[in-house]
């Protein structure tokens, strides 16, 4: 009951912008928030998928505004944010969610994959956050939720681009938070979630369904957490890995990588 009241009080009648809204966590978050009379702004590169999602949820009280947007294009992002603000009258929460994976094994290097990951996961995320932050600073209110990853725990073998973008995103959001006292910043670091971005990975410990992950995420934001790592097993692993001295971590990571190469 207390959790239900918490979610209702926080999310009811909010204007919420979500990037990467056509699949994975973007879809799960939209479904999780739909019961709360939300005015949604859905941004992604697949309009048909967003339209189908909105149609499936129109029986409720929420409203849906949809726009094609490539977060790699800064002008496109800013224009989309301005248009949603005009539609909704404000922006209460933005989910900086759009992201892609990238295998960046130094023995099978692909610059296109590396650059696409950096442009989407980092530059696109910063474009989105900064465009919404400009609006929220004028409002003197708002929440910026950045969907990072527990992969930011260390430089994981074969994942330099993905890990690097998530580490960078964490620190940019932290820097923003030190300067914007009226804005809530929540960094979310999920472990393995069953979404298309992780579907090709064979070993996914403590895998969590996307709908369960979304409910945990919207609850963490409602509790105004500054950082939320889940599941608890992955949170323990995250802090353990962060505590390792670099020489020891590199030695262990090399052994693990070579055993799977």
Q: What is the pTM of this model?
A: 0.94
- Please say if the pLDDT value at position 180 is more than 70: yes
Between 90 and 107, name the one with better pLDDT.
90
Q: Which residue is listed with tokens 């369960």?
A: 212
Task: Please tell me the predicted confidence (pLDDT) of residue 260.
Answer: 56
**Measuring CA to CA, how many Å separate 170 from each of 96, 132, 175, 206?**
12, 17, 9, 23
Instruction: Report pLDDT digits (tens) over 60-80.
Output: 889 999 999 999 999 999 999
Q: In CATH, what number is assigned to the domain containing residue 160?
A: 3.40.50.720
Instruction: Report pLDDT digits (tens) over 12-45.
Output: 999 999 999 999 999 999 999 999 999 999 999 9
Mean pLDDT to the nearest integer, 115-125: 97
Separation between Cα atoms, residue 40 and residue 135, nearest integer Å = 16
Mean pLDDT to the nearest integer, 209-232: 98
| Those residues with Cβ within 8 angstroms of residue 255's Cβ, 6 or more apart along the chain or in another chain | none
Give 258's pLDDT tier (boundaries 50, 70, 90): low
Task: Please tell me the predicted confidence (pLDDT) of residue 259.
Answer: 58
DSSP letter at 126 equals: H
Q: Are 142 and 132 in contact (CB under 8 A)?
A: yes
Helix (H, G, I), strand (E, B) or coil at 54: helix
Mean pLDDT to the nearest integer, 122-131: 98
Mean pLDDT of the chain: 95
**Measuring CA to CA, how many Å separate 64 from each of 31, 52, 90, 204?**
12, 11, 14, 33
Please say whether the dihedral angle defined by the alpha carbons of residues 171, 176, 182 and 184, taken in this order, is positive or negative: negative
Task: Please tell me the predicted confidence (pLDDT) of residue 256.
Answer: 78
Q: Residue 12 is part of which domain span?
A: 2-260
Q: Are 104 and 162 in contact (CB under 8 A)?
A: yes
Total number of domains constituting the chain: 1
């Amino acid at each position: 009951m207390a959790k239900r009241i918490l979610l209702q009080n926080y999310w009811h009648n909010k204007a919420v912008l979500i990037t990467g809204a056509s699949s994975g966590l973007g879809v799960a978050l939209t479904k999780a928030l739909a019961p709360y009379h939300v005015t949604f702004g859905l941004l992604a590169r697949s309009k048909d998928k967003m339209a189908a999602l909105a149609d499936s949820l129109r029986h409720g009280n929420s409203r849906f505004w949809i726009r094609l947007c490539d977060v790699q294009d800064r002008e496109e992002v800013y224009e989309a944010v301005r248009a949603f603000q005009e539609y909704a009258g404000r922006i209460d929460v933005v989910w900086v969610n759009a992201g892609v994976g990238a295998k960046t094994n130094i023995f099978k290097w692909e610059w296109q994959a590396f650059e696409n990951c950096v442009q989407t996961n980092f530059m696109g995320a910063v474009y989105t956050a900064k465009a919404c932050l400009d609006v929220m600073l004028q409002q003197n209110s708002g929440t910026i939720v950045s969907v990072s990853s527990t992969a930011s725990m260390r430089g994981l073998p074969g994942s330099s681009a993905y890990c690097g973008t998530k580490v960078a995103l964490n620190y940019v959001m932290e820097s923003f938070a030190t300067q914007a006292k009226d804005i809530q910043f929540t960094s979310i670091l999920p472990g393995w979630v069953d979404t298309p971005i992780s579907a090709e990975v064979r070993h996914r410990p403590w895998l969590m369904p996307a709908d369960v992950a979304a409910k945990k995420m919207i609850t963490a934001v409602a509790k105004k957490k500054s950082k939320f790592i889940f599941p608890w097993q992955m949170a323990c692993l995250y802090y353990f890995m962060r505590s390792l001295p670099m020489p020891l971590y590199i030695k262990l990571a090399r052994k693990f990588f070579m055993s799977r190469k």
